[in-house]
Structure 1
């Protein structure tokens, strides 16, 4: 996998500048949105095929969206930092990359708490999501909604993972989320936080033994080329946060802000449906390339108990006990 050229970061006109510049009444304004997901990932497809067109339609072509997927404007951390500083307008990014700025996101990162996507979206689309959105705004972001990243599973180059013992000493790449890292420390692995742009080469060069991601990311990122084993651990359900720069967004006219929100709502609804179908096809493709191992429900329950015992108190301290308890109460309603 090729590492993206960071020369793309030196775009001639930044998004925020383009949005804030005074322009004639009928002049077009540029809107740049960047992400680290591969072009064929359902989130990138939805942004390109739906968001871009909806913004053009709703603005009568007065707002023009330039889409930069696949780390064309840097990795996840660079995109988040650029949005926070106001030099990039919008990014779609794995929620974990916002958790160190807004630790409240760890409340929805607990291991094995979401049985399925419906349970996860019931929580993030309700009062819990509203509370997280407010925290993000305090940190310089405008939350535009939550796409599906999906249930995360382990791939590795050592051996099939069927139980906790198989994780012992495994050098496992994770996102920079303290709950994720603490979970796998508790399970006996050796977790390493790493940006998405570094993962393929780290696996190829055996800097790390393993990584974990949803099937769609494993497939689109071609990790099956450098990993032999896939296990359906389903240890976290993950979200993609779509966030705008508060600095740039507040310079827009109210009607422009409204149409961007409306366009992204349509985009997210499309992406969530697309994620369901692409997950199934991604798994089918991976089974043809990798050794696939089912992790039994009993083993997953054992993993959940070990992990939750280790991480729950820490998450409550970082994210707030009230919010964590609210998440657990919502999950219990299923």
Structure 2
């Protein structure tokens, strides 16, 4: 008995009391994009690496990319139901489910995704997360640089979209295309090139990097050089997965679920987008059109009915749409990300 006590004392001297030993946990993170493109390599993967390092090995994250565990529109429910611990979600893939959050999809709001995602993170926590995403923990907001309108022929004003078939970025832009008299062509991102080559679509709203990610430079070589929209994904965590962690591990998660981290993960994606834009500008086969101030006013006026529809959707759910929208604009202005 004495010999056992001596041995136990020796172990405790090295590792500390058993009650204070580090908890080890493996979290499963699912997303729906190829593991080799910027959103993963310059956003999700660095966040995972930092989380693991900050936990000093107590937390491991197993990443499942490219819809291995479920389709893109299912990812919110996968996290909420505990099928996975963490999921990268595009709220715009489920039209009408997150009406408050869809304010982030309204066009011509932000010209800076890095500071813009910080603003969105702070604003949504205060104005919508507990209402719309109460069954998950919001970890970060992740957006590409402001996306643009890419087409086969020049488009500089909203009336030119009438009669044009356009692959929209998400449900809000799809509705905008409809309001302009165009036809939204709803196909997944990997199928956009085929839709353009077959003439099913004549234009697309996409981030700059997507021109190369999906090999679209020959299909839509004309670009409207204005910050058209954001598509802001979110990384969310199952609440039971979070609550089951030790206090020490919860603190690590909390330190990686902040507006600052939203900016960090979005910075890598923005870097990739801006490099792609510079490459496009240096390519003689590509053409860029910069709208005049009058054109910008026309686009903003054309988007006003869309904003009114957003307000109606939020009000129908019991939200104070005017106050929520003003809070969003104020957050963007605070972070110098308003357009």
TM-score normalised over the length of structure 1: 0.78
Unmatched tracts of structure 1, length 5 or more: 1-24
Q: Find the partner of 1:228 among 211, 221, 228.
A: 221
Q: Counterpart of 1:20?
A: none
Shift of 1:242: 1.5
In the alignment, the residues of structure 2 paired with residue 202 and residue 85 of structure 1 have an alpha-carbon distance, to the nearest angstrom, of: 34
In the alignment, the residues of structure 2 paired with residue 251 and residue 194 of structure 1 have an alpha-carbon distance, to the nearest angstrom, of: 39
Q: Counterpart of 1:51?
A: 47
Q: Find the partner of 1:123 among 109, 119, 125.
A: 119
Shift of the 119–281 alpha-carbon distance from structure 1 to 2, 3 Å rule, reads: closer
Matched, 1:103 2:96: no
Matched, 1:217 2:210: yes
Unmatched tracts of structure 2, length 5 or more: 1-20
Query: Deviation per CA, 1:51-73, whole angstroms, max 9, x where unpaired?
Result: 23223223332322122334444
Q: Counterpart of 1:164?
A: 158
Larger radius of gyration: 2
Shift of the 40–142 alpha-carbon distance from structure 1 to 2, 3 Å rule, reads: same
1:70-85 aligned at under 5 Å gives the runs 70-85=66-81
Shift of 1:259: 1.3
Shift of 1:313: 1.9
Matched, 1:39 2:35: yes
Q: Counterpart of 1:149?
A: 144
Q: Counterpart of 2:279?
A: 285
- Report if the CA contact (8 A) 2:91-2:101 is conserved: yes
Shift of the 302–130 alpha-carbon distance from structure 1 to 2, 3 Å rule, reads: same
Q: Secondary structure, in 3 states, of the residue corresponding to 1:203?
A: helix
In the alignment, the residues of structure 1 paired with residue 24 and residue 206 of structure 2 have an alpha-carbon distance, to the nearest angstrom, of: 39
In the alignment, the residues of structure 2 paired with residue 289 and residue 52 of structure 1 have an alpha-carbon distance, to the nearest angstrom, of: 39
In the alignment, the residues of structure 1 paired with residue 176 and residue 80 of structure 2 have an alpha-carbon distance, to the nearest angstrom, of: 28
In the alignment, the residues of structure 2 paired with residue 327 and residue 270 of structure 1 have an alpha-carbon distance, to the nearest angstrom, of: 20
* Alignment: residue pair count: 306
Q: Find the partner of 1:255 among 248, 256, 270.
A: 248
Shift of 1:262: 2.1
Q: Secondary structure, in 3 states, of the residue corresponding to 2:227?
A: coil
Q: Find the partner of 2:236 among 243, 248, 252.
A: 243
Q: Secondary structure, in 3 states, of the residue corresponding to 1:31?
A: strand
Shift of 1:296: 0.9
- Report if the CA contact (8 A) 2:86-2:235 is conserved: yes
Q: Counterpart of 1:9?
A: none
Q: CA RMSD in A?
A: 3.0
